[in-house]
Amino acid sequence: MKRGRIRIVGRVQGVGFRYCACTEARRLGLQGCVRNLPDGSVETECEGEDGNLRAYVEWCRQGPSMARVRDVSVTYTEPTGEFEGFQIT
């Protein structure tokens, strides 16, 4: 199990990015949350199997076409087990 904090920069607020990210994370069996940040970026924290987490990061790099993702930064940390399901916050 691995945990990652992913920050996505681009035209990501107000285009359904959080809903799409939540749907993709659930499809991959990840636990966590996705939220808008005041600076217009989106942050997602999630835990899951290493391969699934890497696939999610790659999905975030592409995102929905309307999101125009410019940058994705990832910080990996130790899993905490604090998440249950995947939520939009």
> Which CATH number does the domain housing residue 61 bear?
3.30.70.100
Q: For residue 71, tell me if it sits in a domain.
A: yes
Q: Is residue 73 part of a domain?
A: yes
Domain-located, residue 16? yes
| Nearest partner of 5 among 24, 26, 30, judged by Cα | 30
Q: What's the pLDDT at 16?
A: 85
In a domain, 85, yes or no: no
Tell me if 18 is assigned to some domain.
yes
Angle (deg, nearest 10), helices 50-62 and 17-27:
150
Query: In terms of pTM, does the model score above 0.85?
Result: yes
Higher pLDDT, 26 or 62: 26
Q: Which residues are catalytically annotated?
A: 18, 36
Determine, yes or no, domain membership for 52.
yes
Count how many domains the chain has: 1
59 CB contacts (<8 Å, ≥6 apart)? 21, 24
For residue 88, being part of any structural domain is answered with no
Q: Give me the amino acid identity at 27.
A: R
pLDDT digits 0-9 by tens, 37-83 = 999 899 999 999 999 999 999 999 988 878 889 999 999 998 888 99
